Structure 1
Amino acid sequence: MDDSKVVGGKVKKPGKRGRKPAKIDLKAKLERSRQSARECRARKKLRYQYLEELVSSRERAICALREELEMYKQWCMAMDQGKIPSEIKALLTGEEQGKAQQNSVKLAKTGKTEANSSNP
């Protein structure tokens, strides 16, 4: 009397414990393996693209910072020689104009609030 059952292509015998050896279709197993390998390669390709973009953006940032550093070095050398670079003059006059504009805006706001508070 054989009490074995066939479930999902696997033969199960009663009374045995533990993992049963799988009798899986070999073609299906190979196809799953191929699909997994394709997905792995696609993930790897995306990861490398991301890293390459990250490196190139960092390299661009480094170049911009080096150019800025060189500009500051040139400004310092000019100032050591007693010359004030035109860029620094422009920055200073821009800051002065900005401060003047900020002060005029503050005065205008305080003038409006004083006028509003004096009228009951």
Structure 2
Amino acid sequence: MDDSKVVGGKVKKPGKRGRKPAKIDLKAKLERSRQSARECRARKKLRYQYLEELVSSRERAICALREELEMYKQWCMAMDQGKIPSEIKALLTGEEQGKAQQNSTKLAKAGKTETNSSNP
């Protein structure tokens, strides 16, 4: 009992501590590491492609919005000078036509219900 030590009431035997290393083939371990690195690079490449596509789509959207803003600025400048742009006139007449069509449709429906209710 001269080789063992008593610590906290327990007898400890001399020797290596911790996990014992598993007997893994070094070549297999290196190959797994290489495969893992290949997969990591592939995932990284896909992630960067996705982000680049996302950035380019956002840039296109920004350009379209800037063009629209510039168009609205020009319309406002024209209206400040007392001119009504033809695009706004077309929008207004289109809305008026849409309202007129809705009103005529409502009147036509109301007329049909009146004739149906008057017939016993």
Q: Distance in 2 between matches of 1:9 and 1:37?
A: 48
Deviation (angstroms), 1:102: 1.6
Match of 1:65 in 2: 65
Gaps of 5+ in 1: none
Deviations 1:13-44 (A, max 9, x none): 99998522121011111111111111111111
Is the 8 Å Cα contact of residues 79 and 85 (structure 1) preserved in structure 2? yes
**Percent of aligned positions that are identical:** 98
Q: Whole-Å Cα distance in 2 between the matches of residues 81 and 113 of structure 1? A: 50
- Structure 2 residue runs of 5 or longer lacking an equivalent are none
Q: What's the TM-score once normalised by structure 1's chain length?
A: 0.78
- Secondary structure of the equivalent of 2:21? coil
Taking a change above 3 Å as real, the CA distance of residues 60 and 21 of structure 1, as seen in their structure-2 partners, is same
When Rg is computed on C-alpha atoms for both structures, the one with the higher figure is: 2
SS of equivalent to 1:11: strand
Give the root-mean-square deviation of aligned CA atoms: 7.2
Give the superposition deviation at 1:119: 4.6
Residues 101/37 of structure 1: CA separation in 2 closer, same or farther (3 Å cut): same
1:78 and 1:85 in contact (8 A); partners too? yes
Encode CA deviations 1:35-78: one digit per residue, 9 max, x unaligned: 11111111111111110111011100100000000001000111
Change (3 A) 1:7 1:41: farther
Q: Label 1:44 to 1:114 Cα distance change in 2 as closer, same or farther (>3 A).
A: farther
**How far apart are 1:107 and its partner, in Å?**
2.5
Give the drift of 1:10.
28
